[in-house]
Amino acid sequence: MTYLFTSESVSEGHPDKLCDMISDAILDECLSIDPGARVAVETMVKGTDSGSYIFIGGEVTISSDEKVEYEGVARKTASAIGYGDHSVGMDATSDELCKVVVRITQQSPDISQGVDEGKGLHLDQGAGDQGLMFGYASDETESFQELEGSFMPLPAALAQRLTTKMSESMKDGSLSWARPDSKSQVTIDTVVIAIQHDDIAGEQFSGSENDEHAFIFSEVLEKVIRSVIPSSLMKEDTKIIINGTGRFVRGGPHADAGLTGRKIIVDTYGGMGRHGGGAFSGKDPSKVDRSAAYASRWAAKHVVASGMAEKCEIQLAYAIGVSEPVSVFVNTMGTGAVDDHTLSKRVEESFDFRPQAIIEALNLRSPIYSQTASGGHFGRDPGSGGEFSWEQIDEGKIKSLQG
């Protein structure tokens, strides 16, 4: 690393991520009922002194008489994250302390027509919207055994793992005092953590906030940071900042309103690599905001994994109702083994970027999205149930890209 670049992440208990989690849980429920469901669901949360609110809105079209229990899914998701007590920021288990408002209609028939009809061929079904998507991959993580195979920008990979570890440690009791809301920020030589916590000062340290902070600092350093950051990166002069304001007791929706799709850089590459602007969570794969972003990452990862570039960014652009992307742009930023024009041709020959072809190649009609909603959509290990299929390496495509 000859430069310093900063990336951040937020945990599943962050208000915005809570909304992403609810939206994707609803999407999974819809796909479980009907794999061809059309879903675009947005969530907002806000807590007050007297109670909390979950607002769910959007468009859902399902070819089934089975009813989706939107409210039940939202409450179950929030409580599983840790929001089962009003003092923490929300009590999703209580009808009295948490109100859920649902406003769902069907997808516009004009959009549906363009996606359904296409050009008469199954794989020529059109894109669900216009837009542009970026995929990115880098070899920065590949010199660290703990991160090998992720092909991600190093700060982003570490920031994601830190927040995931904090959520896991809260749930398994390793950090028994932790609450759901947390954030991380990594600049390689600086690690910043904000973690919501119980009133430990009043409970254990006779009101001493200094002793409380020292305790939390030690716990997070040993149980989170040292277990996630490779030891070779932990230098004597590495700066560690934990709860820089001193305390973080009030958090979650009580402290901040949350919205679906407000953490798109956290979801992708931590700012390293561009973003087309479209959010992922709550959207079924007919929306190219999601499926084409996964496909462009899949292709970019293959380019780097094949040794054809040290880093690679791929842009796809679509028009609504048209299956073929209107453009495919490959940029290796001067690190390619061949010129970008040649590599672009190989990418287009190796990958079919028509939306329905992407959906079939990556099996995107399965209820696999809840796991993507926190911890990042990229650089994750493919799951046995089809999760993160866009992270799998196809040796045939590797050879095709190598020419």
pLDDT tens digits, one per residue of 71-94:
999 999 999 999 999 999 999 999
Mean pLDDT of the 235-254 span = 95
Task: Say which residue the tokens 């408002």 belong to.
Answer: 101
Rounded mean pLDDT of 389-396? 98
Residue 95: per-residue pLDDT: 97
Question: Within 10 A of 148 (CB to CB), how many other CB atoms are there?
Answer: 10
pLDDT digits (tens, 9 = 90+) for 328-375: 999 999 999 999 999 999 999 999 999 999 999 999 999 999 999 999
Looking at residue 35, what is its pLDDT?
Answer: 95
Q: What is the pLDDT of residues 175-216, one digit of tens each?
A: 999 999 999 999 989 999 999 999 999 999 999 999 999 999
The predicted structure's pLDDT at residue 64:
83
Average pLDDT rounded to a whole number, residues 274-293:
95
Strands across the sheet containing 258-259: 98-105, 52-61, 38-47, 258-259
Q: What pLDDT shows up at residue 116?
A: 55
Q: What is the pLDDT of residue 109?
A: 63
Work out the mean pLDDT of the chain and round it to a whole number.
Answer: 94
Give me the pLDDT at residue 188, please: 83
Amino acid at 304: V
- Using pLDDT thresholds of 50, 70 and 90, give the confidence band for residue 126: confident
Judged by DSSP in three states, 280 sits in coil
CA 13 to chain centre: 13
Q: Inform me whether the pLDDT recorded for 222 exceeds 80.
A: yes
pLDDT for res 112: 56
pLDDT of residue 119: 41
Q: For residue 176, count CB atoms less than 10 angstroms from its CB and return exposed for 0-12, middle for 13-18, buried for 19 or more.
A: exposed
Domain ranges of the chain: 15-112, 122-139+266-278+286-402, 157-251
Mean pLDDT of 34-57: 97
Per-residue model confidence (pLDDT) at position 111:
57
CB 31 within 8 A of CB 55: no
From 3.20.20.70, 1.20.120.1200, 3.30.300.10, 3.90.740.10, which CATH number describes the 15-112 domain?
Answer: 3.30.300.10
In CATH, the architecture of 157-251 is 2-Layer Sandwich (3.30)
Note the pLDDT of residue 353. Answer: 97
Q: How confident is the model at residue 397 (pLDDT cuts 50, 70, 90)?
A: very high
Predicted pLDDT at 121: 46
Catalytic positions: 14, 16-17, 42, 59, 183, 248, 256-257, 262-263, 283, 287, 289
Q: Residue 352 has what pLDDT?
A: 97
Cα-Cα-Cα-Cα torsion 314, 391, 402, 142, nearest 10 degrees, comes to 100
Is the pLDDT at 399 greater than 50, yes or no? yes
Identify the residue with better confidence: 51 or 63: 51
pLDDT, residue 113, reads 56
Residue 402: CB atoms within 10 A of its CB come to: 12
Residue 108 pLDDT class (50, 70, 90 cuts) = low
More confident residue, 112 or 12: 12
Residue 114 confidence (pLDDT) above 60: no
In 3-state terms, the chain is what percent helix, strand and coil (to 5)? Answer: 40, 20, 40
Q: Looking at the DSSP assignment, which residues form a beta bridge with residue 361?
A: none
Fold type of domain 122-139+266-278+286-402: GMP Synthetase; Chain A, domain 3 (3.30.300)
Is 157-251 in the same CATH topology as 15-112?
A: yes
Q: Give the integer Cα–Cα distance in Å for 256 and 155.
A: 26
- Beta-carbon contacts of 185 under 8 Å, excluding residues fewer than 6 positions away, are 6, 7, 8, 9, 159, 191, 192, 193
Cα 260–chain centre separation: 11
Q: Are 273 and 296 contacting, i.e. CB atoms less than 8 angstroms apart? A: no
Instruction: Determine phi and psi for 130, rounding to 5 degrees.
Output: -75, 170
| Section 220-247 average pLDDT | 95
pLDDT of res. 267 = 98
